[in-house]
Amino acid sequence: MLPLDAAGLEERLERLGEPLGERVALVGYGSNAAPSQLRRKLASHEPGWAVPVATARLRGADAVYSAHITRYGAIPATLHPSPGTAIDAVVTLLSLRQAELVRASEGGNYDLVPLDPARVELPAGLGLPRTLHAYLSRHGALAIDGSPVALRAVPARGRTLPEATEAQMLARAAAELTPGGDVRGLVLECVADPRRRRQRVAELARHAVRDPGGAAPGWYARHP
């Protein structure tokens, strides 16, 4: 991983044949903000790959739990409008090949949507790309108790939504989906049986809250 202010960054990327100006700017707020996850998702990329990364702050939205369960048995994140909230995030600049690998890793659960650059703050001295994108869940936000729930693991300022840990959200989902709220059973069946996991995701859909952008979200780009 390379910080965006690394000396000689542009020259290094030129040598790799992946110029800075040709990269896709992705705002990461969940697993895509973690270097370990990016390494996993880009594992099939050619040797010597590099991803410039900058810390960032995203305003007007919060990182909340999505209304689906992953193939590895977790409840992942998505973005939801939250006026007055600002969350810690990162901006990664991906080559076209890297962007395709990240897209494929999402398994059809997310749409790549444009973000209003005015919503994103980078460290002083670092310029914003003209176009920014983020992945938003096609399933909407999980709102079992009537409200989207923020990820406690994602630092935020001005947070107004209730928050929970991953373990707490899995417990809430298990209480809705399994007899006796069997968290272990829910996770194991979602990992072992794709058909059963799809059924569980369909059952969670009744607790989904969509953002104002609808099926093809663009709200974050349209409204300051």
User: Alpha-carbon distance 142 to 9, whole Å?
Assistant: 40
The residues with which 208 forms a beta bridge, in sequence order, are 142
pLDDT of residue 189: 96
Architecture of domain 2-210: Roll (3.10)
pLDDT of residue 214: 44
pLDDT of residue 221: 56
| Helix residue ranges per DSSP H, the chain | 9-15, 35-41, 96-105, 166-177, 183-192, 194-204, 219-222
Nearest to 27 by CA among 67, 57, 64: 57
pLDDT of residue 105: 79
Q: What letter does residue 66 receive in the DSSP assignment?
A: B
User: Alpha-carbon distance 186 to 132, whole Å?
Assistant: 36
Q: What letter does residue 23 receive in the DSSP assignment?
A: -
For the chain, the structural domain boundaries read 2-210
Strands 150-151 and 163-164: parallel
pTM listed for this prediction:
0.85
> Alpha carbon of 12 to those of 49, 129, 174: distances in Å?
11, 19, 48
Q: What letter does residue 117 receive in the DSSP assignment?
A: G
Which residue numbers in the chain have pLDDT < 70?
Answer: 1-10, 12-13, 16-18, 20, 32, 43-49, 124-130, 211-224
